[in-house]
């Protein structure tokens, strides 16, 4: 596997790698290297080889491109060198960037099948992330690199039906496409493994958000919703716990101070994936606030699945994929960008306990239908089919 991310932080890549290891298949992952981490590691049975490239989130476009190219070159050279010794059966490339598929070309030419796992729509991501560079010419260039990357791959995976339909419109043959939904493993998100918290057990409504504190997620709207809650329900004690890496371009700490919320909001920073379930178990309501734009119209936050799996009621932005996936009313929704509507959705969970518990019960049923334990079946079958009769080598110690 090749992934332009810190392997230990990427739940999807870890789920897939660990699922293969659980079947007895050795897995090598080429990933970014955070300062202070070892270049070679073994994590839950997965051989992790870290390239000496770091992520620069919030950087200018040119810095992103330089970082992508540096990782592509290093990963390509390492992959080709190691393949001569270990004889890989399949190479899986995780996007973004799509063109990281080019790093697999040397082994692809040697007959090794390649899977391209598209986590996002890269053209729409860049148009949203860098609006000043969102010209029609650049967007077309991004579509062309996507098409070239798709052509390199023997099989394509993506994370939900909306992105799958987009790829079919882009000309990907249906037989080449597999949907492997971005759902958590219930073995990890198990409410029975943590102390149960009755709703508002200590008299405080405890809200939680666990994820990137990036511009994609409208946490500024969530903070303003806390102010609206104070106005609409002065006697209601509310606290918000934020778990995730901060972004310099999103001055949330300053906004908390300016809104007078310092005593109500706690920033915990990034926590390991293994610690997320306990953090959710200690809360009353999970928040999944997402800014709406053409990019997020294709997205579905994994946070929603995680909150529901931990038997927590959820308030999420009313996005197309949220309504499509949770059409049974499992999730309370609000209009993007509207803090008053978000506050109203939260209060509906406080004021209507029977409806709240019904949402939680339906949510548990739905996440079990979408759980990784089910999604992994199609993923493992695809890898086995592509591997064919090729021998799987054991990664070097």
Q: Is the pLDDT of residue 82 over 70?
A: yes
Alpha-carbon distance 233 to 236, whole Å?
6
Q: CATH 3.40.50.2000 occupies which residues in the chain?
A: 2-183+372-387, 191-370
DSSP designation for 284: S
What's the average model confidence in pLDDT over 240-262?
Answer: 86
191-370 in CATH: which number?
A: 3.40.50.2000
Alpha-carbon distance 70 to 78, whole Å?
12
For 239, the 3-state DSSP assignment is: strand
The CA angle 2-245-319, to the nearest 5 degrees, is: 80
Q: pLDDT for 40-63, tens place per residue?
A: 999 999 999 999 988 776 667 778
Alpha-carbon distance 327 to 359, whole Å?
11
What is the phi/psi pair of residue 232, to 5°?
-75, -30
Alpha-carbon distance 296 to 20, whole Å?
30
Q: Are strands 91-95 and 2-3 parallel, antiparallel or unpaired?
A: parallel
Q: Is the pLDDT of residue 389 over 70?
A: no
pLDDT value at residue 214: 85
| Residue % of the chain over a pLDDT of 70 | 95
Q: Is the pLDDT of residue 363 over 70?
A: yes
**Spatial CA neighbour of 114 closest among 60, 166, 151:** 151
Residue 255 CB neighbour total at 10 angstroms: 15
pLDDT band at 127 (very low <50, low <70, confident <90, very high): confident
Q: pLDDT for 179-207, tens place per residue?
A: 999 888 898 999 999 998 999 999 999 99
Hey, what CATH topology would domain 2-183+372-387 get? Rossmann fold (3.40.50)
Alpha-carbon distance 315 to 286, whole Å?
6
Burial of 353 (0-12, 13-18, 19+ CB in 10 A): exposed
Alpha-carbon distance 72 to 100, whole Å?
6
């Amino acid at each position: 596997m090749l992934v332009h991310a810190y392997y230990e932080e990427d739940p999807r890549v870890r789920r897939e790698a660990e699922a293969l290891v659980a079947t007895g298949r050795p897995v090598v992952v080429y990933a970014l290297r955070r300062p202070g981490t070892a270049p070679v590691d073994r994590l839950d049975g997965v051989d992790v080889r870290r390239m000496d490239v770091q992520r620069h989130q919030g950087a200018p476009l040119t810095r992103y491109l330089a970082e992508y190219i540096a990782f592509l070159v290093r990963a390509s050279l390492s992959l080709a060198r190691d393949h001569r010794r270990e004889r890989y059966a399949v190479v899986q490339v995780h996007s973004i960037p799509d063109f990281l598929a080019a790093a697999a070309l040397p082994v692809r030419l040697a007959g090794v099948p390649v899977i391209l796992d598209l986590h996002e729509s890269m053209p729409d991501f860049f148009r949203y992330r860098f609006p000043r560079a969102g010209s029609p010419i650049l967007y077309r260039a991004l579509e062309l690199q996507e098409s070239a990357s798709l052509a390199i791959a023997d099989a394509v995976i993506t994370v939900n039906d909306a992105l799958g339909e987009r790829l079919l419109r882009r000309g990907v043959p249906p037989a080449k496409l597999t949907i492997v939904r971005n759902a958590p493993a219930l073995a990890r998100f198990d409410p029975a493994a943590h102390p149960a918290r009755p709703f508002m057990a200590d008299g405080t409504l405890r809200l939680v958000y666990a994820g990137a504190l990036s511009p994609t997620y409208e946490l500024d709207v969530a903070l303003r919703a806390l102010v609206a809650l104070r106005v609409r329900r002065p006697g209601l004690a509310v606290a918000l716990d934020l778990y995730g890496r901060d972004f310099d371009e999103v001055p949330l700490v300053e906004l908390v101070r300016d809104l007078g919320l310092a005593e109500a909001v706690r920033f915990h920073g990034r926590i390991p994936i293994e610690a997320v379930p306990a953090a959710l178990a200690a809360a009353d309501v999970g928040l999944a606030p997402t800014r709406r734009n053409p990019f997020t119209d294709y997205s579905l936050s994994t946070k929603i699945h995680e909150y529901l799996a931990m038997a927590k009621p959820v308030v999420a932005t009313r996005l197309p994929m949220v309504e499509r996936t949770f059409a049974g009313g499992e999730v309370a929704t609000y209009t993007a960008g509207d803090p008053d509507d978000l506050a109203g959705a939260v209060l509906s969970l406080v004021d209507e306990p029977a409806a709240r518990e019904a949402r939680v019960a339906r949510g548990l049923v739905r996440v079990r239908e979408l759980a990784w334990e089910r999604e992994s079946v199609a993923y493992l079958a695809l890898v086995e089919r592509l591997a064919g009769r090729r021998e799987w080598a054991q990664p070097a110690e």
